[in-house]
Amino acid sequence: MKTMKPLFKSLACILSFAAFSAASLAAEEKKKDIVDTAVAAGSFKTLAAALGAAGLVDTLKGDGPFTVFAPTDEAFAKLPAGTVETLLKPENKAKLTEILTYHVVAGNVEAAAAMKLKQATALNKKTIKLEVKEGALYLNESKVTTADVKCSNGVIHIIDTVLMPPADK
């Protein structure tokens, strides 16, 4: 039994170190801003390219806070063929900016709060309809697949469909 004591002490030391490392990693992740968090995730390459083309990277790296409804690469792939390529052209920067700013709300709106709302006003001043269906949050027709990805300057909610702003009346 005496030989087990050092083993338990070693195991306790290793577990303490592992817990400390996990906490440090979580703290480090929270230090990343919205753009760096999205880029690090690896499933937002199209969104990152679009933010660059629209000149919105510095804005979303700013103090915020911002709530970003981030479409995945798969969400962008649902758009009609050629749409993304067309929007990324310099001559379409205004339209791209209009679409991307429809995915951002000022403030830090976590999912629990969003689920109590009927609508939100995007940075482009257009209204996004919010609805809870079968326990999931929907924005217009887009489902939040992952909520509350915390960042240093706000929160990201991952969505499965690109939000298209309503046409001006």
pLDDT score of 30: 53
Counts for the chain of helices (H) and strands (E), in that order: 8, 7
Question: Contact, 102 vs 161, CB < 8 A?
Answer: no
| Nearest partner of 66 among 147, 157, 141, 129, judged by Cα | 157
Looking at the structure, tell me whether residues 37 and 84 fall in a common domain: yes
pLDDT score of 64: 87
Asked if residue 42 belongs to a domain, the reply is yes
CA distance 118 to 6: 59
Looking at the structure, tell me whether residues 103 and 25 fall in a common domain: no
| In the block, residue with structure tokens 């030391």 | 13
Does residue 44 sit in helix, strand or coil? coil
pLDDT score of 42: 87
Asked if residue 167 belongs to a domain, the reply is no
φ/ψ of 141, rounded to 5, equals: -105, 5
Mean pLDDT by 10 residues, the chain (169 residues): 45 39 43 90 92 93 93 95 94 95 95 94 95 94 94 94 87
Domain residues for the domain of 24 are 1-30
Looking at the structure, tell me whether residues 56 and 38 fall in a common domain: yes
Looking at the structure, tell me whether residues 89 and 26 fall in a common domain: no
Looking at the structure, tell me whether residues 23 and 75 fall in a common domain: no
Asked if residue 164 belongs to a domain, the reply is no
Looking at the structure, tell me whether residues 68 and 101 fall in a common domain: yes
The domain that holds 37 is classified in CATH as: 2.30.180.10
CA distance 30 to 107: 17
pLDDT score of 31: 79
The residue type of 17 is: F
| Nearest partner of 50 among 23, 81, 89, judged by Cα | 89
Looking at the structure, tell me whether residues 58 and 129 fall in a common domain: yes
Asked if residue 169 belongs to a domain, the reply is no
How far are the Cα atoms of 18, 121, 138 from residue 8, in angstroms, in the given order?
15, 56, 49
Tokens representing 164? 């298209």
The average confidence (pLDDT) of the chain is: 84
CA distance 66 to 104: 7
